[in-house]
Structure 1
Amino acid sequence: MTIIMILLAVAGGAMLSIQAAINGQLGSMVGVFKSAFLTFSVGALVTGLLIFFFEPKHTLTLMDVPKRQLLGAMFGVPYIVIMVLAVQRIGAAVATVAVIFGQLTMSMLIDNFGWLGNASIPFSLSRFGA
């Protein structure tokens, strides 16, 4: 199961690069914010359909969870806007490497210190090498 999750994560990363390249071109034609709006509108529609047809029932609703957990959704907007701008100026590859660097740095800090309610997983050379 672990290898399947790793492969799915790699596929997700590939999709982010494809999305960045497409959104960069779209943003140069229609504007950065319209490109971001389209991304989230289509994403909301597709996600709504997935929820309707496939999401199992949960005992908690979005209104029952701690409100800070709802803030995660707000990080998508700056990410998309930044990537639309960055891909136009520095290209998909450099923008993606910068994103990966930011993700690695922040995820190691979150794991090491147990930030945002996550379990603390101490930093080690083997984790760094992974």
Structure 2
Amino acid sequence: MFRGIVFAFLGGACITLQGVANSRISHDIGTWQAATVTQLTGFIMALVIYLFVRDGDLGGFRKVKPLYLAGGAFGSVIIFSEVTAIQTIGVTFTISALLIAQLLVTFLIDRFGWFGTAKSKMGAPQFIGLAMMIGGVLIMKL
């Protein structure tokens, strides 16, 4: 569990750092160019790590539904949206809104069992927590 928490924090920090870096790149060369550079460097980094770690089976691609293989394409939309938002509303509000959107979508995925996940009931504590996050973001923005 501790390892999962560490990686979640690492991922969250990298999302923020990437958003700020992409915003700077976008300012200099353009938003879609920033998305292209980010996706390319991300691919190169992942490939280099894979070549050293080799922890999977490339033959497994045949087992994955084609829709799921397109998941990386969301990255370009994420980058464009995040860069545009950072330039419009700032880093803190962008990341806060991004986290709230992630929670809302994960609630829907869990509630309806999308993408083959087990259905989960969402009760008052989950909705209260989400409302508190939204309230916190609104207070922070004011």
Retained in 2: the 8 A contact 1:25–1:88?
Answer: no
Gaps of 5+ in 2: 131-142
Distance 1:77 1:92 in 2: 18
Q: Which has the higher contact order (CA 8 A, sep 6+)?
A: 1
Q: Distance in 1 between matches of 2:93 and 2:119?
A: 31
In structure 2, C-alpha distance between the alignment counterparts of 1:57 and 1:85, rounded to whole Å:
35
1:31 aligns with 2:48: no
Q: TM-score, normalised by structure 1?
A: 0.89
Residue identity opposite 1:76 in structure 2? G
Per-residue deviation at 1:126?
4.3
Contact 1:23 1:84 in 2 (8 A): yes
How far apart are the structure 2 equivalents of 1:59 and 1:89?
41
Map residues 16-95 of structure 1 onto 2, 5 A cutoff: 16-58=15-57, 60-95=59-94
* Structure 1 residue 48 displacement after superposition: 0.6
Structure 1: how far apart are the matches of 2:62 and 2:27? 38
**Offset at 1:116?**
1.4
More helix by share: 2
Name the % identity: 28
Aligned residues: 129
Q: In the aligned structure 1, how far is the partner of 2:50 from the partner of 2:80?
A: 26
C-alpha RMSD over aligned residues: 1.8
Q: TM-score, normalised by structure 2?
A: 0.82
